[in-house]
Structure formats: structure tokens, C-alpha cells
Amino acid sequence: MPQHALNPVPTLEDSFFLFFGRSEAAKQAGKAFWERRHQRADQDPPSSPAVAQAQFEAAIAYAEPLPGENPYAHMNAITQPTLVLNGENDVMIASINSWHLAQNIPNAQLLIYPDAGHGAQFQYPERFLKHAIQFVDE
């Protein structure tokens, strides 16, 4: 049985694979994030089995292609400026999916962080903060 099935709290190795890039610098950023995460006084509680099941069902639904000639047409109705962020090595949400979001949401801005996975904002916290502040200020 996989470790994550027994213990819903991610290990350092799980986090590296899912959230960070593959280089030594990315691994060091991952370790720095792991240390920051565990210094927080307001620790996130472990996900319940019901939450894990809901996430699994959402991931399965997300993988299903949308019907029709223009499956992204509904995104044109989003009027709020939207910041889309992805790491170039994201194994959870492929970068091409973020590109499709940015192409179909009016007023969307796409940022792809190099040598990063699903947690690009954790790997590059200072860069992300600057980008997020700039986005909100505009």
C-alpha cells in the first residue's frame, strides 16, 4: 500500500515530486519551504478521507474532455482579471492546461515558473509575491 494511503500528511519526498522542480536549487527551495511550513503556528489539519475522496473524484472529472467544438467557451463569461500560475514541470496540472485557461479567460495573465512543479509559489515565494502584488495593483 502506498505511504500516502496510510498517512495523508505528505512527506518531503512527495512534496518534492509534486511541487518542486528537479534541480538541486529546486530541491533546496523545497527544503526551505518545508522548514517554513513546519514553523507555522496555524498548521493545516490533515485531510479527511471524505476530502481525499472528493479530490479524487474532482481529478477524474477534470480529466474528462469537455464536449462541443469550443469546450472552453464558458470561460469567456469570466470577467474578473485572472492570474494563472503554473510550474513548467507540474505533474498535477500540465502547463498546457494553464495555457488553455489563459487563452480563454478574458483578462487572464499566465505565469510559468521555470524548474518548478505544482507549488511554484512555494518554490519562488518572493517572486510570486512580487507578481501577485503587481497583478492586484493593476
Per-residue pLDDT tens digits for 59-95: 888 778 788 888 889 999 999 999 999 999 998 888 9
Percent residues over pLDDT 70 in the chain:
91
Q: Which domain does 83 fall in, by range? A: 3-137
Q: How far is CA 135 from CA 42, 80, 88, 119, 127, in A?
A: 27, 12, 20, 19, 12
d(CA 30, CA 72): 34
Query: Taking a C-beta distance cutoff of 8 angstroms, is the pair 135, 102 a contact?
Result: no
pLDDT at 15 over 80: no
DSSP three-state, residue 82: strand
Query: pLDDT tens digits, residue range 109-125?
Result: 999 999 999 999 999 99
Please count the structural domains in the chain: 1
Q: SS3 for 59?
A: helix
Percent of the chain past pLDDT 90, that is, above it, reads 47
**Domain at 70, CATH number:** 3.40.50.1820
What letter would DSSP give residue 117? Answer: -
| Angle, helix 12-19 to helix 24-39, in steps of 10 degrees | 120
Q: Is the pLDDT of residue 42 over 90?
A: no
User: Which three-class secondary structure state does DSSP give residue 51?
Assistant: helix
Helix/strand/coil for 18: helix
Please, what's the b/e burial string for 109-138 (b: 16 or more CB within 10 A of its CB; e: otherwise)? ebbbbebbbbbbbbbbeeebeebeeeeeee
